[in-house]
Amino acid sequence: MIQKKLCMLGAFAVGKTSLVRRYVHSMFTDKYLTTVGVKIDKKDVQHAGKTASLLLWDLYGEDEFQRLQTSYLRGSAGLLIVADGTRPATVDKAIELRDRALSALGPLPYLLILNKSDLLSEWEVRPERIDELSRSGWEILRASAKTGEGVEDAFSTITARMLGDGR
Amino acid sequence: MSGRAHPLPQVVSAYLLPLVLRSRHPAFLRTDPNGYVVEHGGALAHYGIHDLQPGQPASAQISLLTGFLPHHGEPLHLSAVHTESGACADLHVFVDGENTWVVLLDTTSEHDQKQAMQQKGNELSLRSERQGLMLDTYLGKSVAESLMAGRWQRGGERREVTVLFVDIRGFTPYSEDHSPEEVFRTLNQYLPVMIEPIEAHGGLIEHIAGDAVMGIFGIGESDKRTAAAKAVIAGLHVQRAVRALHARRAAQGLSCLGVGIGIASGPAAVGIVGTYDRRGFAAIGHHVNLASRLQGQARAFELVIDEPTHSLWQEARQRDAMNEDFSDVLIDERQVALKGFRDVLRTFVITVATSSLPAAFSGAERF
């Protein structure tokens, strides 16, 4: 079976682990537990009549004390970059991480998940900012690890890109 | 001390090696240049790795190796990889001639310690972010309303505030003499006890910079006496919380660092600075600088407050019946000459007792 490594990137506490947990185990908890190092999960996915094994590398969130080490990304077939709609600075971090990852790995499919759509009324990332990112080439999906909204769609979309579908 | 470092004597290596082997659960596999398993051994089962088939690709059998084999070039080291068994491992991949070696070493214990520190640090950062955003939200509405009345101009508003600075004494030499992990752990013990009393007494955390915290009192209320009193009481609670922290650290054999506090009251320009995406609340002015300078004069367990703060606090005490316990506090006057200030200033030094009062505070008056 074909294996594809997908790395989850983003600032700390944006919900990377929660998204993986929702996608792989259909579970969610409100309790924040920071990730140190990397957690690896596996999920078999069907795409275009074939089964692929998705290896989800849930990497520690970057903050001022721990910078992302790009060697974790080696062999990655795609990136799911996560930001928190309630924290505008996490979008800046997402852009920075995308740039660093692509500079280390070369061209690679990626997309941005704006997580916490269940808290839409508290979002501080303005619609104009999202439009601007879309215009500059970002593919952006809104999701909520808490409710599950958009999660399956986000993972299916990036899987399709990794398995060679055009946009 | 200087001089050539001697290699580790063999007897020491021989002593250490079994200890490391016992605690680290080393496991290995050797592959050919194409990443096919040649041999394997050690505590692979400890990491949930079973039934490896020689002659088959290693990365197809061990998912955490996906993308890393075949390996060329410099050795690779990934820390804190969570393995299927739940153990955390450092992963090393290096080439030796025709062989590629993959080595796993258990680091669960280090991971758990780091996780606890990181958790605390991230929670503090999130709290600071949330407070900033809440303030932005509140002042954003206020700006909209106040603009109608001509208030809260972008240049800021002049407000009577009390500013409090608190800083850990001797933190720089402490940082130089201790490992980064130890420094981080210490900071994560001190910052909460510095921040929480300020917030609990209505102060706004303007910023946290390393081992220093700045709080502002008087933003949400118009009475400057109350603001000054709250700042002083918050400062006392910070010192008491540090004293309690010391008792815990001393019991663990850890060194204790004091904090010094400076407080000043007066007009400051307060308001929002920055752009929409990056904005924050700021207080700027002579009294902000003064509070910072006074903090520099404060020794461990001292609050150095300027004369206006003292007067406002005393007025508030006479006006309001405050139920604050001052039995462990002494107050004294001190004349200070501050850099950047022309005149010698009259200040009041409030000291929180760390042991019996008479021995600790000779020359000062019981409060």
Q: Are residues B121 and B159 in the same domain?
A: yes
Q: Where a domain ends, among B76, B106, B136?
A: B106
Closest CA to A6 of A58, A61, A46, A52: A58
What integer is the mean pLDDT of A20-24?
97
Q: Are residues B77 and B195 in the same domain?
A: no
Q: Are residues B204 and B349 in the same domain?
A: yes
Q: Are residues B76 and B116 in the same domain?
A: no
- Alpha-carbon distances of B158 from A131, B161, B268, B276, rounded to whole Å: 38, 9, 5, 22
Q: Is residue B277 part of a domain?
A: yes
What is the interface size between A and B, counted as CB pairs within 8 Å? Answer: 79
Q: Is residue A109 part of a domain?
A: yes
Q: Is residue B4 part of a domain?
A: no
Angle at the Cα of A36 from the Cα atoms of A34 and A42, rounded to 5 degrees: 95
pLDDT tens column, B163-179: 999 999 999 899 888 88
Q: Does A123 touch chain B (CB under 8 A)?
A: no
Burial of B119 (0-12, 13-18, 19+ CB in 10 A): middle
Residue B104: pLDDT above 70?
yes
Domain count, chain B: 2
Confidence of residue B135 (pLDDT cuts 50, 70, 90): low
Structure confidence at residue B139 (pLDDT) = 47
Q: Are residues B205 and B258 in the same domain?
A: yes
- Domain of A53 in residue numbering reads as 2-162
Indicate if the alpha-carbon torsion angle A83, A89, A91, A96 is positive or negative. Answer: negative
Q: Is residue A167 part of a domain?
A: no
Structure confidence at residue B145 (pLDDT) = 40
* More confident: B231 or B322: B231
Q: Are residues B80 and B154 in the same domain?
A: no
Q: Is residue B335 part of a domain?
A: yes
Structure confidence at residue B24 (pLDDT) = 93
Q: Is residue B205 part of a domain?
A: yes
Looking at the complex, report in whole angstroms how far the Cα of residue A19 sits from the nearest Cα belonging to chain B.
17
Residue B152: pLDDT above 80?
no
Q: A42 vs B63: CB contact, 8 Å cut-off?
A: yes
pLDDT tens column, B26-46: 999 999 999 999 999 999 999
Tokens for B50? 């079973």
Quote the CA–CA distance of B163 and B206 in Å, as a whole number: 10
B contacts of A65 (beta carbons < 8 Å)? 118, 121, 184
Q: B66 vs A86: CB contact, 8 Å cut-off?
A: no
Looking at the complex, report in whole angstroms how far the Cα of residue A148 sits from the nearest Cα belonging to chain B.
23
Q: Are residues B304 and B156 in the same domain?
A: yes
Q: Are residues B40 and B188 in the same domain?
A: no
Any idea what the CATH number is for the domain that residue A100 is in? 3.40.50.300
Q: Where a domain ends, among B67, B87, B106?
A: B106
- Alpha-carbon distances of B282 from B155, B178, B227, B271, B279, rounded to whole Å: 11, 33, 17, 6, 9
**Structure ipTM:** 0.90
Structure confidence at residue B280 (pLDDT) = 65
Any idea what the CATH number is for the domain that residue B31 is in? 3.30.450.20
Q: Are residues B93 and B239 in the same domain?
A: no
> Does the bond joining B70 to the residue before it have cis omega, within 30 degrees of 0?
yes
A contacts of B79 (beta carbons < 8 Å)? 37
Q: Where a domain ends, among B44, B74, B106?
A: B106
Structure confidence at residue B353 (pLDDT) = 86
- Domain of B52 in residue numbering reads as 10-106
